[in-house]
């Protein structure tokens, strides 16, 4: 196998897969990493934002995940997808951060507002007032806001696997690798997450039923 060239142009690099870009990076071409960042930063940040619910924290963890991926690029082995590897790093960082927050009750109350496992405190989504047109179709932005809120209502232990599956579209096996959970546990948590999400979206579901 020929060694990766370090002199590939930006246009060439865009065509490469994530895994090949990592090889190019290890060979010395830093531009390859810039492309990886561009490709993954938004979805990674969104995933972290859904877990941490704080934009500053989510950005900080996303940055740290990319730094670690860069520093340890030579340790990346092409036996798993780059995204799986990156999200594994990020998920571990999130868990460390949540653990740190939970050990500090003051920070926890400021940050989370309520216990993450208290299902009784789940707040269903608030539908926008339809005004004079009860059959008004919601705008896409409104639906997106409701979906984001619905995801927030899922307890964090289920939210992680739920988001990885339903939003980031990882396979069950990849989620098991990212989270370190057994496959059966992953399935169970995703199903529980789906149940919670449907419950949170009930107002919108009922409105849709009423509109029929």
Return residues touching other proteins (CB under 8 A).
Answer: 33-34, 37-38, 41-43, 45-46, 49, 55, 58-59, 62-63, 66-67, 70-71, 140, 143-148, 150-151, 166-167, 172, 187, 191, 194, 197-198, 201, 204-205, 208-209
What does residue 60 show for φ and ψ, rounded to 5 degrees?
-60, -45
User: Which of residues 67 and 104 has its CB atom nearest to other proteins in the complex?
Assistant: 67
Provide the 8-state DSSP code for 114.
Answer: S
Instruction: Work out how close the CB of 138 gets to other proteins at its nearest, in angstroms, rounded to a whole number.
Output: 10
For the bound state, the minimum distance from the C-beta of residue 143 to other proteins, rounded and expressed in Å, comes to 6
What is d(CA 171, CA 88) in angstroms, rounded to the nearest whole number? 14
Q: In whole angstroms, how close is the CB of 195 to other proteins at the nearest point?
A: 9
Q: Which is nearer to other proteins, 111 or 194 (CB)?
A: 194
Length of the chain measured in residues: 212
Residue carrying the six token digits 């995801």 = 151
Token pair of 105 as six digits: 């009750």
The secondary element (H helix, E strand) that includes residue 98 is: helix 82-102
Looking at the Cβ atoms of 101 and 190, the one nearer to other proteins is 190
Nearer to other proteins, 41 or 95 (CB): 41
Instruction: Tell me, rounded to whole angstroms, the distance of Cα 136 from its chain centroid.
Output: 31
What's the start-to-end Cα distance of the chain, in Å? 61
Q: Could you tell me the smallest distance in angstroms from the CB atom of residue 144 to other proteins?
A: 4
């Amino acid at each position: 196998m020929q060694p990766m060239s370090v002199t590939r142009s930006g246009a060439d690099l865009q065509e490469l897969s994530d895994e090949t870009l990592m090889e190019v990076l290890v060979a010395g071409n830093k531009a390859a990493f810039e492309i990886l960042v561009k490709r993954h930063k938004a979805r990674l940040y969104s995933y972290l934002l859904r877990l941490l619910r704080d934009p500053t924290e989510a950005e900080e963890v996303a940055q740290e995940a990319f730094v670690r991926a860069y520093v340890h690029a030579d340790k990346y082995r092409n036996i798993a997808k780059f995204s799986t590897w990156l999200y594994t790093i990020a998920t571990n960082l999130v868990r460390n951060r949540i653990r740190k927050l939970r050990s500090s009750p003051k920070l926890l109350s400021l940050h989370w507002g309520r216990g993450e496992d208290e299902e009784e405190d789940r707040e269903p989504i608030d539908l926008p007032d339809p005004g004079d047109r009860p059959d008004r179709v919601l705008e896409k932005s409104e639906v997106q806001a409701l979906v984001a809120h619905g995801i927030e209502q899922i307890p964090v232990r289920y939210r992680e696997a739920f988001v990885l599956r339903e939003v980031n579209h990882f396979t069950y096996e990849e989620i098991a690798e990212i989270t370190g959970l057994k496959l059966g546990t992953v399935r169970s948590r995703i199903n529980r997450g789906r149940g919670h999400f449907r419950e949170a979206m009930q107002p919108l579901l009922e409105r849709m039923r009423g509109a029929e």
